[in-house]
Each structure stands twice: as C-alpha cells, then as structure tokens.
Amino acid sequence: MMPNKEVTYSISELADEFDITPRTLRHYEELGLLMPRRKGNSRIYSHKDRIRLALTIRGKRLGFSLAEMRELFDLYDAEHRSRPQLHSMVAMIAEKRASLQQQQEDIEKVLAELDAADIKARETLEKMKHH
C-alpha cells in the first residue's frame, strides 16, 4: 500500500494557477485566509489552502469583502460551533444571497432594456435602408 502523500503547492504554483501575485497570497495569509506551513523561507500550501483561495477569489467576485470571507472561514472552522455562530453564519449568507438576487434582478432589467434598444435600433436601420 502506498503512503498517503498530501498534495501541496508552492506560492508560485498557486499564484500562476489563479493568475494572482505572490504578494496577494502573502496578504491573504496575513489576513488569516490561508495558513501555509513553512519550510525554511518557503511557504507550503495545502489542498485546503487551495480550496480557500478559490473560494476567496470567487467570494470577491460576488461582492464579499476579505473580512467577510475570513469571518465565514472562522465560522466554518469552529470546532465546537455554537448556536450564535451558526445563526451569524446563516444571517451573513442570507444577507449576501439577498444582495446577489437584487443584483441579478437589476442585471436582468438592464439586459431587457438593452435588448429593446437593440431591436428598435435595428428596426430603424432596416427602415433607413428602404428609404
């Protein structure tokens, strides 16, 4: 039976994979979002760090602040989750969900308006061709 070797990543591997700078990774580490092991001066990132990095980047795109991402990770990692922590996590998720749903509605309205304007402009162009 082969020993179970944990997959690890260097700072440059993760920076390249996610198209970010090593400085960004160090910043995320300073904020407690990532917790690489150290081997001399080198950082060794675990599979868990890689997942957290992907979630952090996705969370930022969806409008979560880095502080909110840290809070979610802390709530998720809490070994003995308390009722208040879970309520806090549920409330935070509900608030973000509502915000994203509002953004989605706004985007759909703008897209419908753009579609209508596009149709009207094309119809006008078509009429101009025949005159």
Q: What is the mean pLDDT of residues 90-107?
A: 88
Tens of pLDDT, residues 10-52: 999 999 999 999 999 999 999 999 999 999 989 999 999 999 9
Q: What is the mean pLDDT of residues 124-129?
A: 91
Residue 96's Cβ-count burial label (10 Å; 0-12, 13-18, 19+) is: middle
pLDDT at 109 over 80: yes
CATH 3.40.50.150 for the 1-64 domain, yes or no: no
If you compute the radius of gyration of the chain from its CA atoms, what whole number of angstroms results?
23
Query: Which residue matches tokens 């809490």?
Result: 78
The pLDDT of residue 1: 52
The pLDDT of residue 79: 59
Q: Which of 13-17, 73-77, 99-103, 116-120 has the lowest mean pLDDT?
A: 73-77
pLDDT grade, residue 120 (50/70/90)?
A: very high
Q: Which of 2-6, 33-37, 122-126 has the lowest mean pLDDT?
A: 2-6
In the chain, where the domains are located: 1-64, 78-131
Q: Are 96 and 62 in contact (CB under 8 A)?
A: yes
